[in-house]
Structure 1
Amino acid sequence: MTQFEQVKQTLKNLDISYQMVDHPAVFTTDEADQYIVGIEGVRTKSMFMTNKKKTAFYLLIMDDAKRLNFHEFEELTGAKRVKMASPESLQEKLGLAPGMVSIFGLINNQERDVQVFFDRDIIEEDRMSFHPNVNTHTIFVATSDVFKFIHAMNFDYKVLALD
């Protein structure tokens, strides 16, 4: 089963509905956005990060129009020396390649050692958009179902008030 099929099957098993948009492969949120114009839901940016020693891993979900201030993230979480994780760490922890990062990578994190964070500005939105572990589709999921998925994968999440 492909990762994409695994995401669809997991959502089906959890009785989570979604809207799917097919498009050519995209590697940035700007590229993806051109294929989902006019569809209701916040466009998310999923950032996979680690500390300098690669002993802690973080998945941050935020509005794709916002820029992350790493120092602010460190202050709010207590994390030290945070940076973007390498493609190798991304593959090892979430089973994904760059350009495909989303909450659905949590399916592949058997160690359950990735800390999940959401920016406060998006959690009140009705729907969120993500790649379903492949960058040739974008799916829109109800925000309540996003949290349902995270809990079903045995993860907790924290909400951050990012500027």
Structure 2
Amino acid sequence: MDQFTLVKETLDKMGIPYEIVEHPAAHTTEEADEFIKGKEGVRTKTMFMTNKKKTEFYLLVMDDAKRLDFHEFQDLTNTKQIKMASAESLKEQMGLEPGIVSIFGLINNQEKNIHVYFDRAILDEKTMTFHPNVNTRTIFVASKDVLKFVKEMGYDYQILDLESFD
């Protein structure tokens, strides 16, 4: 089954409503934003990170307009030597390619070994947007349902108060 169908079927089974916008392949959040101009919803950036030894994995969802301060993330999560995970680790852990990372990659993580974090600032938004494991569509999901999805997939999540470093 292709990744997009897997996402849709998983959300349908959970009773989570969503809206899909199809568009040409978008390789950056800026490109994707162009295809969904005028539609309501916070544009998210999902970062897949690991520690130096590649023994711990982290998924952070934040506003795509924000830049991450890795030192702040480490301080807030009591971790050390965090960096972006390699394409190889991303494929291994989430079954995804770089440029299409989202919470929906958790569907493919059999080991349930990814720590999930959300920046508090986006949780006040009614709707979040993601690539549904493909970069030719954008999916709009209510923020409360994004959290429901994460829980029903078997993950706990933590909420961080990230500073804005534009």
TM-score interval, normalised by the smaller of the two chains: over 0.9
Q: Does 2:52 correspond to 1:52? A: yes
Residue 127 of structure 2: aligned partner: 127
Letter in 2 for 1:111: E
Residue 124 of structure 1 and its aligned partner are, at CA, apart by 1.1
Residue 161 of structure 2: aligned partner: 161
Q: List aligned pairs for 1:22-41, cutoff 5 A.
A: 22-41=22-41
- Gaps spanning 5+ residues in structure 2: where? none
Residue 80 of structure 1: aligned partner: 80
Residue 27 of structure 1 and its aligned partner are, at CA, apart by 1.1
Residue 65 of structure 2: aligned partner: 65
Residue 69 of structure 1 and its aligned partner are, at CA, apart by 0.2
Residue 125 of structure 1 and its aligned partner are, at CA, apart by 0.7
Residue 152 of structure 2: aligned partner: 152
Cα shift readout 1:100-151 (whole Å, capped 9, x = no counterpart): 1000000001100000000010011100000000000000000111011111
Query: What SS class does the counterpart of residue 46 from structure 1 fall into?
Result: strand
Q: Distance in 1 between matches of 2:92 and 2:57?
A: 11
Q: Distance in 1 between matches of 2:125 and 2:104?
A: 19
Q: Distance in 1 between matches of 2:95 and 2:123?
A: 26
Letter in 2 for 1:3: Q
Q: Distance in 2 between matches of 1:32 and 1:134?
A: 11
Q: Distance in 1 between matches of 2:19 and 2:94?
A: 23
List 4+ stretches of structure 1 deviating above 2 A: none
- Gaps spanning 5+ residues in structure 1: where? none
Question: Percent sequence identity over matched residues?
Answer: 64
Q: Does 2:2 correspond to 1:7? A: no
Query: What SS class does the counterpart of residue 133 from structure 2 fall into?
Result: coil
Letter in 2 for 1:118: F
Letter in 2 for 1:156: D
Residue 79 of structure 1 and its aligned partner are, at CA, apart by 1.1
Q: Does 2:105 correspond to 1:105? A: yes
